[in-house]
């Protein structure tokens, strides 16, 4: 008669792995202890040791096993003493993993779970750079962004500091990416210093300080291309209609356009008064698909609107309207 072999290691591995996936590992009762040296969260690429110590009633473990993400480890395991074993990893680069260990108490008994742990590796934050704060007109917010640098893979928090240069008063905002600061909370004058501090368990970095004047960072309300009109004069002429709800008087704009089969943009610049809808004339090739985009800034300031969404227009064939 064939003996039926139950692979208890597989059964336990699946059970543990699925309860981990569903966040249920905290409900598992440990019969012992698992720990990581140098730490549970460590710098990516380090060599680490994972220790497992059994404390199971009436059990003198004959073997101790380690699993990573449900898969049994075969190498670099050292038995330290009767209750404890060590698993060593060289150059550990996985951002997240779950490890657990089991004990074999006797040959006739299923493996018993000792304990499990989430481990993660990552990097300390880079120095945040390219800190920029803008006020989208009518938004009621100052939006501050920065370049966080390379991914850290681990939970990283940013604190945005805003200090009034007039009253020296300082405010802090905690976030995980960019931040919107209500302009109502910026009543302490017009000039501020802004900087960003990044931190996680592996380190902390501070950006350079950015000096801002609230009047210099307003981005005019979005510009929108509404329609195109082909005029059948002797030369083929297209009029592009575009507008913005901005209340800023002096606005500089750029309209870029190209034949969609061409890589190169043509750019036209305008000093615009949005009291009226804008109408701009273009002399284009007939029977071609063109794309237009516009963007504006308050004249003389630093920040531009993003390019408007592409507006496509096909010019008529020669001789036809």
Ligand X SMILES: *[C@@H]1O[C@H](CO)[C@@H](O)[C@H](O)[C@H]1NC(C)=O
User: Does residue 239 touch ligand X according to CB under 6 A?
Assistant: no
Q: How far is the CB of 23 from ligand X (least distance, A)?
A: 14
User: Does residue 82 touch ligand X according to CB under 6 A?
Assistant: yes
Q: How far is the CB of 139 from ligand X (least distance, A)?
A: 3
CA angle (270, 276, 280) in 5-degree steps = 40
User: Does residue 81 touch ligand X according to CB under 6 A?
Assistant: yes
Burial of 28 (0-12, 13-18, 19+ CB in 10 A): middle
Q: Are 92 and 107 in contact (CB under 8 A)?
A: no
Nearer to ligand X, 33 or 206 (CB): 33
**Binder of ligand X out of 29, 58, 187, 309 (CB under 6 A):** 29
Nearer to ligand X, 48 or 198 (CB): 48
User: Does residue 145 touch ligand X according to CB under 6 A?
Assistant: no
Q: Which stretch binds ligand X (CB under 6 A): 34-42, 46-54, 146-154, 301-309?
A: 46-54
* Strands 112-122 and 129-136, sheet pairing: unpaired
Residues with Cβ within 8 Å of 204's Cβ and at least 6 positions away in sequence, in order, are: 124, 125, 197, 198
**Binder of ligand X out of 84, 171, 199, 252 (CB under 6 A):** 84
Question: From residue 258 to residue 277, what is the string marking binding to ligand X with x (rule CB under 6 A)?
Answer: -x--x-x-x------x-x--
Residue 16 backbone phi and psi in degrees, to 5: -65, -45
Residue 54 backbone phi and psi in degrees, to 5: -85, 145
User: Does residue 78 touch ligand X according to CB under 6 A?
Assistant: no
Largest CA distance in the chain: 101
Residue 17 backbone phi and psi in degrees, to 5: -65, -40
**C-alpha dist (Å) from residue 267 to 187, 255, 278:** 39, 6, 16
Distance CA 216, CA 196 (A): 20
If we measure between CA atoms, which residue out of 247, 277, 279, 253 comes closest to residue 267? 253
User: Does residue 249 touch ligand X according to CB under 6 A?
Assistant: yes
Q: Are 47 and 88 in contact (CB under 8 A)?
A: yes
User: Does residue 143 touch ligand X according to CB under 6 A?
Assistant: yes
**Binder of ligand X out of 58, 90, 187, 309 (CB under 6 A):** 90
User: Does residue 291 touch ligand X according to CB under 6 A?
Assistant: no
Q: How far is the CB of 9 from ligand X (least distance, A)?
A: 19
User: Does residue 282 touch ligand X according to CB under 6 A?
Assistant: no
User: Does residue 177 touch ligand X according to CB under 6 A?
Assistant: no
User: Does residue 2 touch ligand X according to CB under 6 A?
Assistant: no
Tell me which residues touch ligand X (CB under 6 A).
Answer: 27-29, 46-47, 53, 80-84, 90, 136, 139-141, 143, 180, 231-233, 249-250, 259, 262, 264, 266, 273, 275, 321
């Amino acid at each position: 008669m064939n003996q039926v072999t139950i692979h208890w290691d597989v059964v336990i591995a699946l059970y543990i792995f699925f309860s981990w996936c569903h966040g249920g590992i905290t409900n598992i009762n440990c019969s012992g202890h698992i720990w990581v040296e140098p730490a549970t969260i460590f710098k990516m690429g380090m060599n680490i040791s994972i220790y497992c110590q059994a404390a199971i009633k009436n059990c003198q473990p004959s073997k101790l096993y380690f699993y990573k993400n449900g898969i049994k480890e075969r190498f670099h395991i050292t038995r330290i003493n009767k209750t404890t074993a060590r698993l060593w990893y060289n150059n550990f680069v996985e951002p997240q993993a779950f490890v657990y260990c089991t004990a074999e108490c006797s040959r006739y008994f299923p493996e018993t779970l000792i304990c499990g742990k989430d481990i993660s590796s990552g990097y300390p934050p880079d120095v945040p750079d390219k800190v920029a704060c803008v006020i989208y007109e009518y938004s009621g917010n100052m939006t501050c962004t920065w370049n966080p640098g390379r991914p850290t893979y681990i939970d990283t928090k940013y604190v945005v500091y805003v200090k009034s240069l007039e009253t020296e008063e300082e405010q802090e905002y905690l976030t995980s990416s960019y931040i919107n600061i209500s302009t109502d909370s910026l009543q302490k004058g017009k000039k501020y210093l802004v900087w960003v501090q990044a931190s996680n368990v592996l380190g902390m970095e501070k950006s350079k300080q950015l000096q801002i004047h609230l009047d210099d960072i307003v981005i005019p309300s979005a510009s929108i291309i509404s329609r195109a009109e082909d005029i059948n004069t002797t030369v083929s002429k297209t009029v592009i209609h575009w507008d913005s709800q901005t209340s800023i008087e002096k606005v500089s704009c750029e309209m870029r356009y190209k034949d969609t089969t061409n890589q190169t943009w043509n750019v036209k610049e305008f000093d615009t008064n949005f009291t009226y809808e804008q109408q701009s004339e273009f002399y284009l090739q007939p029977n071609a698909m063109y794309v237009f985009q516009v963007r504006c800034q308050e004249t003389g300031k630093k920040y531009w609107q993003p390019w408007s969404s592409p507006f496509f227009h096909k010019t008529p064939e020669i001789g036809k309207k």
